[in-house]
Amino acid sequence: MSTRPDQRGLSARDVEPILAVASKLAAPFDLLTMLTEVVNAAKQVLSADRGTVWLYEAATDELVLEVATGIAPVRVPAGAGIAGSCARNRQIINVPDCYADPRFNPDVDKRSGYRTRCMLTLPLIDHKEVLVGVMQVLNKAGGVFDADDEALATALAAQCAVALQRVRMTEALIEGEKLRQEMEMARVVQMSTLPVAMPSVPGYDVYGTSIPASATGGDTFDLSQVTQGLLVVLGDATGHGIAPALSVTQMQAMLRMAFRLGADLDTAFTQVNNQLADTLPDDRFITAFIGILDASTHRMRYHSGGQGPIVHFHAAIGACTRHKPTSFPLAAMPLTALRPAATLEMAPGDILVLLSDGIYEYHDAKSEQFGEQRVEGLVREHHGKPAAGLSAVLLQAVQDFARGAPQEDDITVVLVKREPEPFAEHRSFVRRFDSLQEIFSFTAAVFARLQIDPRLLQTIDFAVEELFTNMVKYSKTSDAAVRLDLIKIAGGVEAILTDYDVEPFDVTQAPDAEIDLPIEQRTPGGLGLHLVRRLVDSIEYHYSKENRQSRITIRKTIAGDPAVGGSAGTGEGHADD
């Protein structure tokens, strides 16, 4: 019954229906439609009453019955029964009398009321010798299947196997693309919940950024003005991917709603925790720092659910103190009582440093972690920088330390810095050309208040005007205000322009103006940047792809002024990966 008799060659009459079937199977069907077409083709070519296709799943080593008239889908181990034997041996099995073959299972007939007389079972093997499945045709009209039918079935099986494999691969590619698009959409949604521009808080410089390790991350942060003060949040959900991203986005949305409805810090923390405990799975939780800064009293009240260390840099002594979390992670368990909120006193120059464990635990190729000591050392060394500049130093130091080791966890930085007395000032300006007069008034006033050498004012005004004008002219997709920081440095001034939600444009790489050519041969544009690079001591460009933020830093000192024997400036650009 299972032996395979000699087969004759296919005649032209035999080939014609096979080619017709092959042409039909080339259509772009989905998998279930293709399976139906394969069964119908087999029934037509072999004059069979019914047909069945089993697809082979290599991962489970099973045959899966996807299409069978009147029969529910089932799974059987590859190797079991007639279909399994065909799959194992990759040979046609022709059974003229099924009830006389011990491998035949009559239970299917009993359930369906159908009686199987004869059966032809053939392996579906594609052009790369990969087993795709097994096809069975039942009850040939007027008799049993013979050697001629086997020859036709062999040719048909080859066509069907290739068609099925093509559809399965196509659907796998489509599903992969759908998943990629869904992940990208989730990423866009998650990133849209983060602040686009940093809030302006009198006497403070605040900054936050987040870099997910995958398409979507489990970190979030918030820096926003609410009735109670400045809301400061850093959250880190367990895991990576869509589920943690949804968890932290949910937490952030509930916090904002609670504070906008007038809840105090304790109530907001308790209610959000309890709501998350009710809705998140048992294995999901969020470590989160949630604080409110009162800029008038310079006090930060906070609860920290499992998020730590909380680093407080004290400018007066040039040292950091670490604080532990005040509570369990959010969603770990419902809270019926809560300890009083902890308080930090922010003295002039103090910095609150909140970092997710993606920085502390970032390790190099030798599995050494970046650690808390390196973070505190960098904060002590660079505490005089604006918050955005300190963040850039921390992130670059992590990359340098890693030496190419991949990022395995999300990275988030939140910095709250009280301005020194006096040392630096900043203001944001509406993105339009008539803001220039406000900018000039601001720079003149800051020069006077910080007692910066007035001989540098004209150069700074020229450079800021040129850079700000370019931002207005070429970054037309952004409505965010442009921030200008002025910092007094030894013998001069540092100016930083931060632009939000923009495409990169590295001013340090712009070509020089062709000033040596006759005017009629020069390419228009570029003269302003050309002059800026030569008037300042240095110019640096930094761009964050994650936050679409550009930052241009220029420095000018009396020692570097050409009018008193100084030299032309240098430029350097950098973009985050």
Please tell me the predicted confidence (pLDDT) of residue 538: 92
CA distance 415 to 395: 13
Q: What are phi and psi of 303, to 5 degrees?
A: -120, 140
Token pair 């902890």 is found at 342
CA distance 87 to 83: 6
The answer on 479 and 452 residing in a single domain is yes
In this structure, what CATH number is given to the domain that contains residue 254? Answer: 3.60.40.10
CA 97 → CA 93, 94, 104, distances in Å?
12, 9, 10
The answer on 202 and 103 residing in a single domain is no
The answer on 282 and 141 residing in a single domain is no
SS3 98: helix
In a domain, 519, yes or no: yes
Tally of CB atoms within 10 A around 433: 11
| Residue 374, token pair as written in the block | 């390196």
| Residue 141, token pair as written in the block | 């009209």
The answer on 504 and 385 residing in a single domain is no
DSSP 314: E
Q: How far apart are the first and last CA of the chain?
A: 66
Q: Are 534 and 528 in contact (CB under 8 A)?
A: no
In a domain, 188, yes or no: no
Q: Are 34 and 53 in contact (CB under 8 A)?
A: no
Token pair 């052009």 is found at 127
SS3 364: coil
CA 523 → CA 267, 466, 506, 516, 526, distances in Å?
63, 18, 19, 12, 8
User: What sections of 420-519 are H helices per DSSP?
Assistant: 436-450, 457-474
Please tell me the predicted confidence (pLDDT) of residue 292: 95
Of 396, 418, 440, which closes a domain?
A: 418
Q: Which domain range does residue 350 map to?
A: 193-418
Helix (H) or strand (E) run with residue 534 in it = helix 527-535
The answer on 247 and 354 residing in a single domain is yes
Of 383, 418, 453, which closes a domain?
A: 418
Q: Are 481 and 429 in contact (CB under 8 A)?
A: yes
CA 395 → CA 13, 388, 544, distances in Å?
73, 11, 11
Residue ranges in the chain modelled with pLDDT below 70:
1-35, 66-73, 127, 159, 161-166, 168-193, 214-217, 239-245, 422, 511-526, 560-577
The answer on 137 and 45 residing in a single domain is yes
pTM here is 0.52
The answer on 236 and 135 residing in a single domain is no
Please tell me the predicted confidence (pLDDT) of residue 126: 73
Facing residues of 428 across strands? 483
Of 378, 400, 418, which closes a domain?
A: 418
In a domain, 7, yes or no: no
Q: What's the total number of domains in the chain?
A: 3
The answer on 315 and 269 residing in a single domain is yes
The answer on 365 and 337 residing in a single domain is yes
CA distance 554 to 442: 17
> How many degrees, rounded to 5, is the angle at CA 381 between CA 379 and CA 386?
65
| Residue 258, token pair as written in the block | 């609670």
Token pair 């080791």 is found at 405
The answer on 434 and 368 residing in a single domain is no
- pLDDT 10s digits, 367-393: 899 999 999 999 999 999 999 999 999
In a domain, 185, yes or no: no
In 3D, which of 395, 426, 389, 386 has the Cα closest to residue 413?
395
In a domain, 180, yes or no: no
Concatenated DSSP letters for 472-536?
Answer: HHH-TT--SPEEEEEEEETTEEEEEEEEES-----GGGSPPP-TTS-GGGSPSS-HHHHHHHHHS
In 3D, which of 456, 541, 546 has the Cα closest to residue 492?
456
In 3D, which of 212, 80, 301 has the Cα closest to residue 544?
212
Q: Is 374 exposed, middle or buried (0-12, 13-18, 19+ CB in 10 A)?
A: middle
In 3D, which of 11, 14, 4, 9 has the Cα closest to residue 44?
14
Helix (H) or strand (E) run with residue 15 in it = helix 12-25
> How many degrees, rounded to 5, is the angle at CA 401 between CA 360 and CA 385?
75
Token pair 């019926």 is found at 336
CA 223 → CA 20, 31, 206, 227, 418, distances in Å?
66, 49, 8, 13, 15
In a domain, 438, yes or no: yes
In 3D, which of 255, 264, 261, 197 has the Cα closest to residue 228?
264
In this structure, what CATH number is given to the domain that contains residue 111? Answer: 3.30.450.40
Please tell me the predicted confidence (pLDDT) of residue 8: 45
In this structure, what CATH number is given to the domain that contains residue 491? Answer: 3.30.565.10
Q: Which residues contact 148 (CB under 8 A, 6 or more apart)?
A: 7, 8, 14
The answer on 494 and 404 residing in a single domain is no
Please tell me the predicted confidence (pLDDT) of residue 248: 76
In a domain, 99, yes or no: yes
Please tell me the predicted confidence (pLDDT) of residue 217: 59
The answer on 454 and 348 residing in a single domain is no
Q: What are phi and psi of 493, to 5 degrees?
A: -145, 150
In 3D, which of 207, 558, 244 has the Cα closest to residue 355?
207
| Residue 502, token pair as written in the block | 């923009």
* The one-letter amino acid at 446: V
Q: What are phi and psi of 326, to 5 degrees?
A: -100, -10
